[in-house]
A and B are shown apart, each in its own frame.
Chain A
């Protein structure tokens, strides 16, 4: 079973506990600027959005790397091998999502590797905005919300009424 981070921005409060957990695991210190996951604050729209690598099946970062420093492990995770990385940054250009970034203090690139099986960000998230789930069922919770509304609409308004929204 492949597992992935499932992010629900609607539950995010912008507390950055995910960034703290990530930087502590990866860097041994609390340092949000080195976090592999970042939370973006859309102040005027009252939205906070955590964002990180989605572990593409066909990963452009991996394809672009000239020294094969990015490999796919058994869990489908794209892992950067620091001993091979030459810091050329081509992968940071290739990634369409911007989730591979250069770390000037080491001269290597950094990206999310799902903590090789138990992501610290998901564990640290206090609201369930970041969860770690079976990739093939990632959408089921969202489906259930809509299904619940459909069930409610049909049970209160009769079987032929379209599901109410919002």
Chain B
């Protein structure tokens, strides 16, 4: 119940398709999705494997609440060893694909090996087939979606695919489902590309059953009410999307600007949620057309936008003239504030390109920002960029970079390496704003201290979705802590990391935790799944998952020295805003964090910790 108890194992090397029962002992220890698929991965691959080699595996995994009426119960994750990071990767996506996979009767799909030629997979209930993808290899996510639906005469299919960026193994390429939802980070798209797998198309007509239907409906209904009555999930997110944060974070002095040289962006308002909802001067239309929910979601934070057809970026490019997935806060920051570009239409266009070609807009924007700094310092010249005048603030340069990177053409090929490899190449690795090779998201850790520890210790490289302490430090959820203080942040980060790992294993969206705690989530899991699922058990499971990921990374070669921030954050004080004069105090937080985790001073979980967590 909750689980379908069935998984698919696809060996791409010899084109075999096998079915297996789900390991229910593991399901009781790791629940589903992130936790359970990571368990499969760490049992099945050598942690030192080259992520782009056939020996790496890639798992599409749902949670037990995926495909149920629980609010936001539509998530799936892609678990693999990350191409960008060489660390454990787990990228989570919404849309409708995850629920459809459940309706087809499966909990997860494990991909092994590498196809001799490009292929795509169809899963239509029990009918599972590999097909020749030669006609869609080289085409966009959007074209692929349309082509597969036509080819199989089924407009109700839900499709997850890579664009040309994944095919070209751009190191931060993503996997896009339902046209504009993405398993975005850590280069999971490059792993899929390395396996010659273009797309997975699913259609399901079976049902998902739960353990106790009436109790589940009551628990889900109570929890939906909590979301509806909360100011963030009931009003802020549906109206403004995650972009509600743009002005808030800028005022907090935590808006990374021009590759983190500054912490406030003078153009923040121009690219904010409010700007998206205001009629444009150019044509009197709004950028924001409507909000959209992912499957089962009663929050509906998604943005659907339309670009001014006369804007320079889309002239003579009709594929961008219709409405599609618009800017989330992370994309608006990475493509905008971090590059110094305040042209909302250009940012929306680049966001469309990221969806169409399958690029993570965070890492792409941050890599362009790093390149802009190299250009500013004279380490890159216009000759080396193939004629692009790569100045901070240039919308034209940003658009050009977006068009070249997925295709791996010209200077785009270098941008496709990600900021760390790019900055190393030009002799300045410290200018890459990344941890474990993955670029920072949209919060400057001088203005929000806990996020420094979050980034440094995130198992998949710098990330906001592993412990979103912004909730506490800025929004006061569940309780307010001082964003400029380091005291107590080690415990805060650990608590958020463990709870988030549990949420990510359930099939639910982490955005619910603006309103929900595990006290709202556990009753839904408990009513849906065999076993007794208390909030305490969920939290302990989250800690188990966190340590399992850490052990994998340690075996892959990561040590305490990889839990560090670039020197800019720890030595160059913020120049403006509330954090003026401050650097991030990681050195104060990290030893305390290791101790709280039950790890050695070298960041290695002790045997006692591992046995306490039954690892």
Contact = CB atoms under 8 A, between A and B. Distances in A.
Contacts of B322: 43-45
A132 interface: no
A24 B323 contact: no
B224 A23 contact: no
A44 B300 CA distance: 18
Interface stretch (B20-28, B285-293, B309-317): B285-293
Nearest to B321: A44
A31 interface: yes
Contacts of B290: 13, 46-47
Contacts of B298: 15, 17, 126
Given A15-B298, A44-B322, A31 B208 contact: yes
A143 B465 CA distance: 45
Contact of B323 (A14, A15, A31, A43): A43
B208 A15 contact: no
B103 A33 contact: yes
B204 interface: yes
A24 B103 contact: no
Interface string A8-48: 00000111110011011001111111100000000111111
Contacts of B324: 43-44
A46 B228 contact: no
Contacts of B209: 28-30
B195 interface: no
A34 B67 CA distance: 13
A124 B217 CA distance: 10
Nearest to B326: A46
A24 B292 contact: no
A117 B21 CA distance: 42
B296 A16 contact: yes
B300 A15 contact: yes
Contacts of A13: 238, 290-293, 297, 300
Contacts of A124: 69
B601 interface: no
A135 interface: no
Contacts of A17: 69, 71, 296, 298
Contact of B208 (A30, A45, A46): A30
A161 interface: no
A126 B96 CA distance: 18
Instruction: Name the prevailing secondary structure of the B interface residues.
Output: loop
A16 B300 CA distance: 11
B296 A46 contact: no
Interface residues of B, number: 36
Nearest to A20: B69
B205 interface: yes
A148 B584 CA distance: 54
Contacts of B206: 31
A127 interface: yes
A46 B323 contact: yes
Nearest to B306: A46
A61 B291 CA distance: 36
B296 A126 contact: no
Interface in A26-79: 27-34, 43-48
Contacts of A27: 207
A24 B297 contact: no
A29 B213 CA distance: 8
Given A33-B205, A46-B290, A15 B69 contact: no
Contacts of B292: 13-14, 46, 48
Interface residues of A, number: 26
Nearest to B322: A44
Given A46-B323, A126-B228, A126-B298, A28 B69 contact: no
A127 to B, nearest CB: 7
A14 B74 CA distance: 12
B204 A33 contact: yes
Given A43-B179, A44-B324, A28 B224 contact: no
Nearest to A45: B323
B208 A44 contact: no
A24 B291 contact: no
A46 B295 CA distance: 16
Contacts of B289: 46
Contacts of A28: 207, 209, 213
Nearest to B72: A15
Contacts of A15: 293-298, 300
B68 A30 contact: yes
A31 B207 contact: yes
Contacts of B294: 15
B226 interface: no
A46 B276 CA distance: 15
In this complex, which of B207, B289, B297, B322 has the most chain A Cβ atoms within 10 angstroms of its Cβ?
Answer: B207
Nearest to B304: A46
In this complex, which of A27, A43, A45, A127 has the most chain B Cβ atoms within 10 angstroms of its Cβ?
Answer: A43
Nearest to A10: B290
Contacts of B96: 16
Contacts of A24: 69, 213, 217
A35 to B, nearest CB: 11
Given A17-B296, A24-B213, A31 B103 contact: yes
B96 to A, nearest CB: 8
A34 B207 contact: yes
Contacts of A29: 207-209
A23 B294 CA distance: 18
Given A24-B217, A126-B224, A126-B228, A30 B293 contact: no
Given A20-B69, A27-B207, A30-B69, A127 B323 contact: no
Contacts of B204: 33
Contacts of B67: 30
A86 B168 CA distance: 55
Nearest to A28: B213
Nearest to B68: A30
Contacts of A126: 71, 224, 228, 298, 300
A24 B205 CA distance: 14
A14 B300 CA distance: 9
A87 B277 CA distance: 50
Interface string B177-204: 0010000000000000000000000001
21 contacts: A14-B292, A15-B293, A16-B293, A16-B296, A17-B71, A17-B296, A17-B298, A20-B68, A21-B69, A23-B207, A29-B209, A30-B67, A30-B207, A31-B205, A32-B103, A34-B205, A43-B322, A44-B324, A45-B322, A46-B304, A126-B228
Question: Which 5 interchain pairs have the tightest Cβ spacing?
Answer: A29-B207, A31-B207, A15-B293, A44-B322, A46-B289
Given A15-B297, A30-B208, 19 more contacts: A13-B290, A13-B293, A14-B292, A14-B293, A15-B295, A15-B300, A16-B296, A24-B213, A24-B217, A29-B209, A30-B209, A33-B103, A34-B205, A34-B207, A45-B322, A46-B306, A47-B290, A124-B69, A126-B300
